């Protein structure tokens, strides 16, 4: 069984993830690395069973519990996010960028953790955004009611710029 080959960008992010985990005294095991690599290499969110199938295609012995355990670990470390609307996972757009993990974990000392996603209903791609105005609005609304939120995930459905710019398919009329 050979190792799965990922794109150079994904390999760079995986190296960064390994260093990030080591800095926390944790291990990015081979199974976790493979699952993270498959998620990072995918242009669209990946469901658990899709990941399981892809691991098996690559000749990796995998069962649902091992994939779910890897996803739990990766989510807990902030390396991936679950898109509830799609019941699928995406790599964190911020955690592993540039010189290594930014470590911000989307948390803010002055407010709630507020992760935001734009979900294209046409191509099913997901875009992670960080807009402090959204977090501030959630903080203000919660404060006004005396509610103390622990976190928030905002999932917005619509059409991405690329799909919106694509020409509409030609209509065929039956005479």
Tokens of 72: 């739990």
Is 102 annotated among the ligand-binding residues?
no
Please, which residues have CB within 8 angstroms of residue 127's CB and are 6 or more apart in sequence?
Answer: 93, 117, 118, 120, 160
Q: What are phi and psi of 95, to 5 degrees?
A: -65, -35
Asked if residue 120 belongs to a known ligand binding site, the reply is yes
Nearest to 36 by CA among 78, 1, 65: 78
The one-character DSSP state at 107 is -
C-alpha–C-alpha distance, residues 71 and 88, integer Å? 10
Residues belonging to the binding site for Zn(2+) are: 120, 123, 160, 163
Residues belonging to the binding site are: 120, 123, 160, 163
């Amino acid at each position: 069984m050979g190792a799965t080959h990922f794109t150079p960008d994904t390999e760079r992010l995986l190296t960064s993830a390994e260093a990030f985990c080591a800095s926390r005294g944790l291990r990015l095991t081979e199974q976790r690395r493979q699952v993270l690599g498959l998620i990072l290499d995918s242009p669209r969110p990946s469901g658990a069973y899709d990941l399981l199938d892809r691991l098996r295609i690559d000749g990796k012995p995998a069962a649902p519990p091992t994939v779910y355990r890897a996803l739990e670990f990766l989510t807990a470390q902030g390396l991936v996010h679950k898109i509830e609307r799609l019941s699928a996972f995406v790599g964190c757009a911020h955690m592993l960028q540039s010189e290594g993990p930014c470590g911000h974990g989307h948390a803010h000392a002055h407010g709630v953790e507020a992760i935001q996603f734009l979900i294209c209903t046409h191509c099913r791609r997901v875009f992670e955004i960080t807009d402090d105005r959204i977090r501030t609005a959630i903080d203000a609304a919660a404060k006004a009611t005396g509610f103390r939120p622990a976190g928030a995930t905002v999932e917005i459905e619509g059409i991405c710029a690329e799909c919106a710019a694509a020409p509409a398919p030609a209509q065929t009329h039956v005479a």
